[in-house]
Amino acid sequence: MVRRIFLLGLFVSVLVSAYYLLKEMGIMAIVTDVDRLRVWVLALGYWGPVMLIALMAIAIIINPIPSAPIALAAGAAYGHTWGTVYVVAGAVTGAMGAFWIARLLGYELMVRLFGKRLRLGWLGSQNILMGMVLVSRLIPFLSFDLVSYGAGLTSIKTWRFALATLAGLIPMSFLLAHFGGELTTSSLEQALGTVLILGGLTLAPVIVTMLVKWHRRREIDRINLSGKSTAGR
């Protein structure tokens, strides 16, 4: 267990160091500027898509690096279709990387701390875990990075995580790549606003479902309590 904690601390230190190194080298300034990033990747020729995929993967693994400008630059440089392909490829790669980092470094610690409770109840349901990952990918104000790391600390199967991530990524990636391709007429604020609206529409039925289940549970509890009171008389 001590070895796992040491490796976890070492990994966090490497991430922090990598972030500040990228910042000092000026790469962060390029990544956060859609126009500069578009010009840069186009100047790389055939290596441009590879760089975009790598940057997207790194942005997922290193949380402070924003991924939205990279997705917009992909659309601006390569259009809707190929931009979406590159964004999805990079995001899935980064998500799987974060997932396996958490699984290898943190899952055993979680099992030792919480024991069998980690595998029981709703947290042990593969269908529910897969559904949670899928919904989280459709809600932009939930951290993509933290969801990927968090999923690695659960018992969800790798193929379920990958499938849910891929299915949830495609619509958001297409929207960002689309707005990136239309940067001459659409601003970053408009793109993010549209994505947030879509995320809100996705979240609404989830909230309604949760409220309905909560209300039903309260009704069942009330009926059970009434039945016990009647039996006590």
Q: What percent of the chain has pLDDT over 90?
A: 18
> DSSP code of 67?
S
For residue 96, pLDDT over 70 is answered with yes
Helix runs in the chain, H state only: 2-24, 27-31, 34-43, 47-61, 68-105, 107-114, 126-137, 144-152, 158-181, 188-232
> DSSP code of 57?
H
Number of domains in the chain: 1
**Ranges 91-105, 107-121, 155-169: which has the least confidence:** 107-121
- Which is more confidently placed, 120 or 74? 74
Give whole-number Cα distances, 108 to 49, 61, 159, 213, in Å. Answer: 36, 20, 20, 33
Taking residues 87-94, what's their average pLDDT? 93
pLDDT at 131: 83
Residue 64 binned pLDDT confidence (cut-offs 50, 70, 90): confident
For Cα atoms 216, 220, 222, give the angle at the middle one, nearest 5 degrees: 115
φ, ψ (nearest 5 deg) of residue 25: -80, -5
Residue 18 binned pLDDT confidence (cut-offs 50, 70, 90): confident
Give whole-number Cα distances, 94 to 15, 22, 36, 88, 205, in Å. Answer: 14, 17, 23, 10, 28
How is 169-221 classified by DSSP, letter by letter? HHHHHHHHHHHHHTTTT--HHHHHHHHHHHHHHHHHHHHHHHHHHHHHHHHHH
Tokens 């008389």 appear where? 233
Tokens 């790549």 appear where? 177
Please tell me the pTM assigned to this model.
0.71
pLDDT at 50: 94
Range of the domain at 27: 2-232
Give whole-number Cα distances, 219 to 55, 121, 125, 209, 212, in Å. Answer: 50, 22, 25, 15, 11
The answer to whether 89 and 83 have CB atoms below 8 angstroms apart is: no
Measured in residues, the chain has a length of: 233
Taking residues 115-140, what's their average pLDDT? 68
How far apart CA 32 and CA 16 sit, in angstroms, is: 18
Taking residues 121-149, what's their average pLDDT? 75
Tokens 């590879």 appear where? 50
How far apart CA 20 and CA 206 sit, in angstroms, is: 38
For residue 227, pLDDT over 70 is answered with no
Q: At what angle do helices 47-61 and 68-105 cross, to 10 degrees?
A: 50
Average pLDDT, the chain: 75
